[in-house]
Amino acid sequence: MTPLPKFSVIKTDFDALLECTGQIVILVSDDQKLDAVSSWINKVTKGALERFLCSEEFKNLLLGNTLSLAYPTDLYVKSVMIAKINSNATIAQARSCGVKITKTLTCEKILLVGGKFERIADLVEGIAMRNYEYLDQKTNTNPKPLDVRVMVDNLAGQAAEIDTKMAMVDGVFFTRDLINAPANVLTTTAFASELSALSELGITVEVFDESTLEKLGMRTLLCVGQGSDSPSKVVVMQWNGGGDEAPFALVGKGVVFDTGGISLKPAGGMEDMTMDMGGAGVVAGAMKALALRKAKANVVGVVGLVENMPSGNAVRPGDVIKSMKGDTVEVINTDAEGRLVLADILWYTQERFAPTGMINLATLTGAIIVGLGHEMAGVFSNNDRLCKQFIDAATAEGEGAWRMPLAPAYDKLLKSRIADVKNVGSRAAGSITAGQFLQRFVKEDMPWAHLDIAGVASIASESEFSPKGATGWGVRALNRMIADHYEMKEEAASG
Ligand code: BES
Ligand code: ZN
Ligand code: ZN
């Protein structure tokens, strides 16, 4: 498990500064005005800080960037890092500045001087999000978590805000660890036990085995895993932090490895298919974040965990499988397996929970990468309101999301000669036909969105908030969307 950076919030304290042996980080605006702590540091260092701020180097420093003053006089610290940020910085600027701080830190013991800066929680979020490295499979590493004391004037307010942000970052790290884990480590069984452990946070977790899934009639899900020695599982996670209203549902594709099955994928790049459980990983991380921050909402997470392998038992192209809904599916291509998994769990979720809305996440199609690259996930929805709620939340969190179309006209591409539907269309509109296939398993009046995260779940070059590999995309957007639209307000909760 990747250790979470530690943030403790303390009141502004000059002794702590004097005793600090790691690194002090201060925030200075581009008008070079010094706050109480910076003035004090300037005095202790016999004017070094002010001289530094008058330098060409500082003047040329772009907003949001950092410079360090090494081994300053009369302090024990290795350096004082100066981050240039204005007091009226936006959330996005504060977050980006946090990222820059993480990238330029040279110690793991930090004293961050927040003072009166209002966006300190967003800045901390940026520091934490970028402070991630997946080392679980490397030997001889002893990762020391970053240990940050944040000095603020308004202790109560800022500490609570930082705690909420860290709950979210905890969820993101959980998702990243799951997605980065290789498929021999994160088997369906190991994944289910990781999720079972969420019960410690107050989440009710149920794990369904193959015989139960068989009884439920989840044949399209089961056929995907039938060539694998790892047993297929469905895990249901319930967070009941709201009243007695119906829950909002999050549904995730959890293919722990996608070889393509009998429609085998080419060897080159196949190793990337360890991330094909990304949808389930994001659902897990979002559930964790909601539980950690004790969200006043009812949310259910349902994930289908399977492995898509070729074998003598594997499902064949041409097989016809009956879904839990009752529709028959002709499997033309065993590599279009994610939709087969989702078909059954989408149906199950609606039958059991009658949710107020439902979002599924899946690394579903290579075609979405052709369309949107690695910057944005594709959003397909039957409901303008839900779609806007999600895209607004994603935008606020700096997570790219772009609406794509759904329309009955595409259904003709999925017509099967012998069954109710086939699992693939032609090459044309590959991501949309996948969406249309899923929509078949969504009830008429159910507000629903499908997020195709194939391009954003794991990336080959670093992004602003994450290193190469798993990004955790979606955890923050979902958490915010629940907070903004599906949570009981304070008055309602107490009254
Ligand atoms: N897991 C893949 C989609 C994928 C591709 C995810 C690249 C991440 C990166 C999915 O199961 C798949 O194989 N889809 C096929 C569908 C096709 C057979 C209709 C695809 O996109 O090629
Ligand atoms: Zn596939
Ligand atoms: Zn897949």
Buried b (16+ CB within 10 A) or exposed e, 436-466: bbbbbbbeeebbbbbbbbbbbbbbeeebebb
Q: Give the separation between CA 365 and CA 248, rounded to whole angstroms.
A: 25
| Residue 169 β-bridge partners | none
pLDDT at 495: 42
Domains of the chain in sequence order: 6-154 (3.40.220.10), 173-487 (3.40.630.10)
Q: CA dist 427 to 2, 60, 398, 435, Å? A: 40, 51, 31, 14
Q: CA dist 447 to 29, 239, 247, 249, 349, Å? A: 45, 20, 13, 10, 13
User: Alpha helices of 327-473 — where are they, by DSSP H?
Assistant: 338-353, 367-372, 384-396, 430-439
260-312 per-position pLDDT tens digit: 999 999 999 999 999 999 999 999 999 999 999 999 999 999 999 999 999 99
Q: Among all chains, which residue has been given the structure tokens 């905890």?
A: 170
Token duo for residue 482: 């629940």
Mean per-residue pLDDT of the chain: 96
Helix H or strand E segment including 17: helix 14-19
Contacts with 442 (C-beta within 8 Å, 6 or more apart), sequence order:
346, 350, 358, 382, 448
Helix H or strand E segment including 463: none
DSSP letter string over 34-99? --HHHHHHHHHTTTHHHHHHTSHHHHHSPTT-EEEEES-TT--SSEEEEEE--TT--HHHHHHHHH
What spacing in Å lies between the alpha carbon of 443 and ligand 3's midpoint?
A: 24
User: Alpha helices of 181-264 — where are they, by DSSP H?
Assistant: 188-196, 210-216, 219-225
| Pocket flag, ligand 1, residue 487 (CB < 6 Å) | no
Q: Give the separation between CA 425 and CA 324, rounded to whole angstroms.
A: 22
Contacts with 283 (C-beta within 8 Å, 6 or more apart), sequence order:
237, 250, 251, 252, 301, 302, 303, 361
Ligand 1: atom nearest CA of 365 is 21
Q: In what order do the strands lie in the sheet with 421-422?
A: 320-322, 328-330, 421-422
pLDDT at 320: 99
- CA 368 vs. chain centroid, Å, equals 18
Angle made by CA atoms 47, 49, 54, in degrees to the nearest 5: 100
212-233 per-position pLDDT tens digit: 999 999 999 999 999 999 999 9
| Pocket flag, ligand 1, residue 373 (CB < 6 Å) | no
pLDDT at 32: 83
Written as one letter, the residue type at 356 is T
What spacing in Å lies between the alpha carbon of 231 and ligand 2's midpoint?
A: 18
Written as one letter, the residue type at 464 is E
Site to substitute for ligand 1 among 179, 263, 365, most atoms within 8 A of C-beta: 365
141-175 per-position pLDDT tens digit: 887 899 999 999 989 989 999 999 999 999 999 99
- Per-chain residues with Cβ under 5 A from ion ligand 2: 258, 335, 337
Q: Give the separation between CA 463 and CA 106, rounded to whole angstroms.
A: 21
Ligand 1: atom nearest CA of 260 is 13
What spacing in Å lies between the alpha carbon of 159 and ligand 1's midpoint?
A: 43
DSSP letter string over 243-298? -SSPPEEEEEEEEEEE--TTSPPPSTTGGGGGGGGHHHHHHHHHHHHHHHTT-SSE
Site to substitute for ligand 1 among 333, 335, 342, 431, most atoms within 8 A of C-beta: 335
Angle made by CA atoms 328, 332, 333, in degrees to the nearest 5: 125
Contacts with 258 (C-beta within 8 Å, 6 or more apart), sequence order:
265, 273, 276, 308, 335, 337, 338
Active-site residue list: 265, 339
Site to substitute for ligand 1 among 221, 255, 262, 276, most atoms within 8 A of C-beta: 276
What spacing in Å lies between the alpha carbon of 300 and ligand 1's midpoint?
A: 26
Q: Give the separation between CA 254 and CA 279, rounded to whole angstroms.
A: 6
pLDDT < 70 regions, the chain: 490-495
Of 35, 219, 27, 186, nearest in space to 114 by CA = 27
Q: Give the separation between CA 286 and CA 238, rounded to whole angstroms.
A: 12
